Structure formats: structure tokens, C-alpha cells
Amino acid sequence: MLTLISHPLCPYVQRAAIVLAEKSQPFERIHIDLAHKPDWFLQLSPLGKTPVLQVDGQPIFESAVICEYLDDTAAPRLHPDDAVERAQHRAWMEFGSAMLNTIAGFYNAPDEAALDRKAAELRAQWARLEAALQSDPYFAGQQFSMVDAVFGPVFRYFDVFDSLGDFDFFAATPKINAWRLALAARPSVANAVGSDYPALLRRFLSQRPSALAQRLAAPALV
């Protein structure tokens, strides 16, 4: 019996939901308000973060640990069998987490100059990843891997960012563009969030003291 303690926007929750779907594991999903964390949740999550996966009532916290547990206990395996390749995949998963930190810096940038600097940082990270991609449609070719589960939620941010300005995030990354489209079409990735995700993200961005919030508040040009 699996229960995923969740937040509608959390990219780390999405990782776990994607892996659960790829392994055809039925689960219950419970959303919480991270701004007003219930006491029962804090008892399950020492760090006070989502996701938490309850397995027959036993909590597992931290998305990376949850995904590793699922890969150890349910087929199909999403990590490579080769130890070196598996380590390389885990390293790129960490790169994906680093990109989420840069993304947070981007949407929290207080002014246009800081926004431009963070956009340039993101473009540089995409360029490094573009140079590393050797296959299609997914990170490791035809087989969907744990790296794909990490980057599906990363790409999802840019569907909204692209509507807020011409940042040229993917202008020089054709392999990443193809990968992004392949992941968006994957049912496990598409269904890891609700249909209201874009609206929820835009609302979240509009509430930040940031340059992006100012763009959201500006009247649309006719």
C-alpha cells in the first residue's frame, strides 16, 4: 500500500510520481500546503519537505531515496545494469537538481538584470547537457531511465517561462529540444501533475517579489 505525500507544484514529487507510473504501481496521492504544514506531516518528514512515500504506513523521505527504493523493489529497472553507467546517470540526476536551484534563482530574480544573469546561467547549463546527450528519444536511447524522470519536471517549468519572454533557452540545443518533446508526450510525465499546473505555477510566480511577477502583472500587448 503506497501513499505519496505531495504538493501540486513540487518537481521532486513529480519525480516520484513518474517513477511510480513507469512501474505501474498504484498509489494514493495526498496534497499538503507547504506554507501551513500539518503536524502529522512533520512527524513523517524530518526535513519538512515533500515528497514522502508511505509504504504500508512506513515513511520514506527525500525524492532520490524514494526513487532508489522503487527501483530496488519494482520492475522495470530504470537504472542501467552497468555500474559505471549507473553512476553516470546518478551524476546527471544531480545535475538536474542543480538546474532546479538555478530555476529557483531565475524565478526569484528581483530585477531584469538579475533575471538576465540567471537566464544566461540556465542557457549555459543546457549547453553542457546538450554536449553530453548521445541518443534519442530519451537520455539513454529507447529505454526511459531515472534521468528522464528527473528532467521531465525540469522541462515543465519552461512551458510557462517561454510565455513570459524570449529567453532563447533552447535556441542552440536541438537534441534537448527533441528530448523535451519526447518527455512531454510520455504519459507518466504528462500525468505527474494536474491539468491546473500551468495556472498554479503562474499564480505562484505572480506572488514572488520578482521580475517575472512584474512581467505577469503587465498588461498584454495587443
- Are the C-beta atoms of residues 7 and 58 closer than 8 Å to each other? no
What is the dihedral angle through the alpha carbons of 167, 169, 171, 177, rounded to the nearest 10 degrees?
Answer: -140
Amino acid, res. 48:
G
CA torsion, ordered 218, 156, 123, 148, to nearest 10 deg: 180
**C-alpha to C-alpha distance for 215 and 160, rounded to whole angstroms:** 12
Q: Identify the active-site residue in 5, 9, 10, 19.
A: 10
Q: Which residue has the cell 505519496?
A: 4
Distance CA 150, CA 129 (A): 13
Specify whether 67 is catalytic. no
Cα-based distances in Å from 28 to 6, 45, 48: 10, 17, 20
Q: Distance of CA 206 to CAs 130, 172, 203, Å?
A: 31, 29, 5
**190 CB-near residues (< 8 Å, 6+ apart):** 184
Known catalytic residues are 10
